[in-house]
Amino acid sequence: MEDFTQFCTSWRPQINRYLHEQISREVKQAELREGMLYSLDAGGKRLRPLLALATLKTFQAQVDLKPYLRIFGAIELIHTYSLIHDDLPEMDNDDYRRGKLTNHKYFSVGRAVLAGDALLTQAFFWLSDNNLDSSLKSALIQTLSQAAGPQGMVAGQMLDIINTGRTLDYPVIRQLDAQKTGALLQASVLMGALCAQANSSQRQHLQQFAGSYGIAFQIYDDLLDLQSTSQAMGKAVGKDAVAGKNTYPQLLGISQAQKKLQELIREAQRQLQALQLDTSLLDSSLDYFKQE
Amino acid sequence: MEDFTQFCTSWRPQINRYLHEQISREVKQAELREGMLYSLDAGGKRLRPLLALATLKTFQAQVDLKPYLRIFGAIELIHTYSLIHDDLPEMDNDDYRRGKLTNHKYFSVGRAVLAGDALLTQAFFWLSDNNLDSSLKSALIQTLSQAAGPQGMVAGQMLDIINTGRTLDYPVIRQLDAQKTGALLQASVLMGALCAQANSSQRQHLQQFAGSYGIAFQIYDDLLDLQSTSQAMGKAVGKDAVAGKNTYPQLLGISQAQKKLQELIREAQRQLQALQLDTSLLDSSLDYFKQE
């Protein structure tokens, strides 16, 4: 099976095109469409839909992935809404994202709040308005709403803003990241597994894979924030420390954080092995953390 | 059949209790739970779930409405999120709502944005996490997400904020209100009809009923804003004119607006008659507009 990097190179442009074309077609109100497209078209790795597609393909090598762009594109709508709202002045107060002005800096806070609200709601429209079987639709909606809402991502963002400036210990940061970043990554993999009709033991291994992946992702991102230059990231760097954000390297020290990252990757690999399938595509998704 | 006022008196406390108890139980993160409950517990007419329940009861007089508190309560979660976000400083900038400080004044803008995001997402969790048949679930989710999102309510709110201070003509205001207020009222009635397995002709009459109801509601609200005292409303009054908001009485004059309101009520009654059912419960929901 192909490598995750190649897989991303071939599917990312299709995800981008789908997101752009559908929102352009479905959203008639000009300012809202413009606000939604501004952030959707700003790029991004599209990691969440790509992980979902890769999970589905791991179970069904011959599946036609095109019809699933709407299903997994919904996850990217939610991810994009969360970035717009997180960047707001009374949240993380970011002026730049992916090398462009943030949505509220380019338009206004009011318009950015509404663009986010619209993306979030449209995600559930996409998940209900498609050709899948009804029971699969509602399982997908349940999974995504639980992961994105007050039992998941929004709770993590609340923990984040109320604790900025305070020093947290490891279990609390881990809880925060599990909700803020991990829940949506986990939902992505789980949604791929639901579409593939994976059984409950397989879904459990995949959830644990995605759990480790999510924390690894956050530690890697924290390390990157410390090490890379402002130019390469397209956003302000070293900003976490300035903003009093709690990060893994700050808490554990850089070398312990790197060690923890390696442990999480090994744990993620073990969960994939337990599936007893050709998991080379998902295995190679972990290579991301080995890049310099 | 009983009168809509009596129906509301008996069901409103049950809706209130359901909303409070479920959010208390489902949302573990303390600050988020507190923010969501602050606005949910502030009262309100619960008009949207009550209209949905009344529509269902119009078709199935003997139905047990209790299991539907979760389904139609989801509409109230969405209505409440929209009020929290609409009150924000860069939107309508309201300090008071229902006699209490608005969510962002009591907590903070960041916390209010998140409480709104959480309520919106949890609505779709409730609609996917219940005992209804899967195909009914996805029809309900499609209806509500279309009405609440960028094809409906959010588009109306965008039109509203970008046109504040400009004078609009009647068709544009009507479009704005149809999206901002009408779409969710229409969805409420339609969701009741979907649960009742109403046929497509019945659903059309009900949609037209709710369309007229929605515009009548807005005109009545505008007239109330002009006429009532600050104390009775629990919010700033005459504020629409001060804020440069476009209202029907401002555009049509008070007496023409009152005449339009009467026409809309008659049109709504005609649509109910066409159902050829005992529609006394829904008929009496129009009495609301006859109160002084």
3-class secondary structure, A96: strand
How far the first Cα of chain B sits from its last, in Å, is 25
Q: Is the pLDDT of residue A292 over 70?
A: no
Q: Is the pLDDT of residue A56 over 60?
A: yes
A145, B29: Cβ pair inside 8 Å? no
Tens of pLDDT, residue by residue over B179-223, are 999 999 999 999 999 999 999 999 999 999 999 999 999 999 889
What per-residue confidence (pLDDT) applies to A98? 87
What's the complex ipTM? 0.94
What per-residue confidence (pLDDT) applies to B226? 84
For A203, list phi and psi in degrees, rounded to 5: -65, -35
- Judge contact between A76 and A49, C-beta under 8 A: yes
Domains annotated on chain A, with CATH: 4-290 (1.10.600.10)
CA distance A46 to A76: 7
Measure in Å the smallest separation between the Cα of A60 and chain B Cα atoms.
25
Identify the residue whose tokens are 């209130």: B16
3-class secondary structure, A29: coil
Measure in Å the smallest separation between the Cα of A283 and chain B Cα atoms.
31
- Residue with the bigger pLDDT between B244 and A221: it is A221
Q: Say yes or no: A114 contacts chain B, CB-CB below 8 A.
A: yes
A146, B137: Cβ pair inside 8 Å? no
What per-residue confidence (pLDDT) applies to A167? 85
What per-residue confidence (pLDDT) applies to A235? 58
Angle at A107 between CA A99 and CA A158, to 5 degrees: 75
CA distance A274 to A272: 5
- Judge contact between B58 and B7, C-beta under 8 A: no
CA distance A41 to A50: 16
Could you say which residues of chain B have pLDDT below 50?
Answer: 230
B121, A33: Cβ pair inside 8 Å? no
Q: Is the pLDDT of residue A244 over 70?
A: no
Candidates B33, B125, B134; nearest CB to A134: B134
Closest CA to A114 of A31, A180, A184: A31
Q: Is the torsion defined by CA of A56, A57, A58, A59 positive or negative?
A: positive
Q: Is the pLDDT of residue A241 over 70?
A: no
Which residues of chain B from 22 to 81 reach within 8 Å of chain A, CB to CB? 26-29, 31-33, 35-36, 81
Identify the residue whose tokens are 């789980």: A190
What per-residue confidence (pLDDT) applies to B167? 85
Residue B213 amino acid letter: Y
What per-residue confidence (pLDDT) applies to A61? 93
CA distance B288 to B292: 9
Q: Is the pLDDT of residue A237 over 60?
A: no
Query: Chain A: residue nearest B129 by CA?
Result: A142
- Judge contact between A181 and A161, C-beta under 8 A: no
CA distance B42 to A279: 52
Tens of pLDDT, residue by residue over A81-140, are 999 999 999 999 999 998 899 999 999 999 999 999 999 999 999 999 999 999 999 999
Which residues of chain A from 213 to 252 reach within 8 Å of chain B, CB to CB? none
Task: Give start and end residues of each alpha helix (H) in chain A.
Answer: 4-26, 30-40, 47-59, 69-86, 103-106, 109-128, 134-148, 153-163, 170-177, 183-195, 200-227, 230-233, 239-242, 248-252, 254-273, 280-283
The token pair at B162 is: 């970008």
β-strand pairing of A96-97 with A100-101:
antiparallel
Query: Chain B: residue nearest A31 by CA?
Result: B158
Closest CA to A123 of B269, B79, B150, B68: B150
Average pLDDT over residues A206-228: 91
Q: Tell me the average pLDDT of chain A.
A: 93
What per-residue confidence (pLDDT) applies to A289? 87
What per-residue confidence (pLDDT) applies to A191? 98
Average pLDDT over residues A3-8: 96
Candidates A31, A125, A154; nearest CB to B32: A154
What per-residue confidence (pLDDT) applies to A247? 83
**Residues of A with Cβ-Cβ distance to B28 under 8 angstroms:** 151, 155
